[in-house]
Chain A
Amino acid sequence: MSLIIVDTGCANLSSVKFAFERLEIPVFISDNPSDISAADKVLIPGVGAAPFAMDKIRQRGLFDVLSRLEQPVMGICLGMQLLFETLTEGKIETQGLGLIPGRVTALDTKLAPSPHMGWNQINILKGDSTILKGIHSGDYAYFVHSYAAPLGDFTLASCNYGTVFSAIVQYKNVSGCQFHPERSSAIGAQILANFAKG
């Protein structure tokens, strides 16, 4: 089994790699389109701003390969948001990879501080996915974000911070976590192991 972490030039790359190393699961980091399309599984990390990240993906010639992935894919945080069709940040619209139908928009935190930062509970809506093996409603995961995907048919688990949004998504071969599994203690490690071994 080969698992590639896509080098999108984003900052949490090594944290994600270290998380798999703690699980003793071999991973490769690559921005080579043919290596990525040949991998058994592909993980897309990401933090920061969507336009910046999509620019990097295009500059590295990765848009075509990433938007056509047919093997199991997992996106983390911004990496999850990039799987959607469109990302709206302020007045800027960014075209995503289009692997999941829908739009990522600013999270309305109501009166609570923004960004949504810290450990929040997830609520499982569809529990039959292998990604969720050993994961329960009420488990805490570490979130850091200002934008979010709404609830949809693709929502496996939700989270509530002013607004209810998608915490874990799955659509066909593609899954994603809005939170950071690499920084979400044992629960996060379990999700990464589920993806790698499932």
Chain B
Amino acid sequence: MLARRIIPCLDVRGGRVVKGVQFQNHVDVGSILDLALRYRDEGADELVFYDITASTDQREVSPKWISMVSRAIDIPFCVAGGISSIDAAGARLAAGADKISINSPALMRPELINNLSEAFGRQCIVVGVDSFEDKGRYRVRSHTGDPDKMRETGRDTLGWVQEAVDRGAGEIVLNCMNQDGVRKGYDIRQLKAVREICSVPLIASGGAGATAHFSDVFKQANVDGALAASVFHKAIIAIPDLKADLKDKDIEVRL
């Protein structure tokens, strides 16, 4: 059976891994390669690297560390951050990234999803969606890496996910911003709503704080993978213990 994926997310800023609370107040948590190797050894199924300032600073992630990571690890990884052209995406894939993830540039120019999907195949095109609940409605925000540059897009989350899939996204990562960094659990209700309309793999992001949050999101929202950062970086949850717990609860995992 297809295993549910456990995906540590490494937010990269200035060549280091950082973590903030609700996308703000970032602290240094370690070197890119040290963390990549640590998570690989602990049994992470995949890694995601977000260059959180790339989109807001109008620059693109450096392929140099991508190649370093690709050389070192033997599990798949995805890179994100300000990728806004076929050339930029191609350079990252050629450097050894398995998937690229786009977020703000796709919101500004949705046809970018079509272009990337046609050039490289939908299997390596991930669309990240930063969603914020406001008075019971799920709304998409862009440029969330910098609070001063964050924008309301006026888009409805469900509509945008559907459009991204129709345009050729091969996977959706849904960052539920109300939950991000506060470790109170994934936004099951929102993820369930998105799961209903999402025909490609769906990855939950934002809110993991305890082992039970992972089994809850797999069982209740039927997501394909769960992404988390601080609980892994701060060693609040060890991946082997997490996977053992999921297996005890009859959730398929790779041990």
Report yes or no: A117 in contact with B171, Cβ–Cβ below 8 A: yes
Question: Is the CB of B141 closer than 8 A to any CB of chain A?
Answer: no
Min CB–CB distance A71 → chain B (angstroms): 26
Q: Which residues of A contact B (CB under 8 A)?
A: 11-15, 18-19, 21-22, 47-49, 52, 78, 112-121, 140, 142, 144-146, 160-161, 180, 182-186, 188-189
Report yes or no: B98 in contact with A15, Cβ–Cβ below 8 A: yes
Which residues from chain B contact A146 at a C-beta distance below 8 Å?
A: 122-123
B contacts with A, residue count (CB < 8 A): 36
Report yes or no: B71 in contact with A140, Cβ–Cβ below 8 A: no
Which residues from chain A contact B225 at a C-beta distance below 8 Å?
A: 118
Question: Is the CB of B95 closer than 8 A to any CB of chain A?
Answer: yes
Question: Is the CB of B211 closer than 8 A to any CB of chain A?
Answer: no
Report yes or no: A11 in contact with B3, Cβ–Cβ below 8 A: no
Q: Which of B106-151 contact A (CB under 8 A)?
A: 118-124
A45 to B173, CA, bound (A): 27
Question: Is the CB of B201 closer than 8 A to any CB of chain A?
Answer: yes
Report yes or no: A11 in contact with B124, Cβ–Cβ below 8 A: yes
A119 to B5, CA, bound (A): 8
Report yes or no: B98 in contact with A113, Cβ–Cβ below 8 A: no
Which residues from chain B contact A52 at a C-beta distance below 8 Å?
A: 119
Knowing A18-B71, A185-B75 are in contact, say whether A112-B2 is a contact too (CB < 8 A).
yes
A117 to B224, CA, bound (A): 9
Residue of B nearest to A140 (CB): B254
Question: Is the CB of B235 closer than 8 A to any CB of chain A?
Answer: no
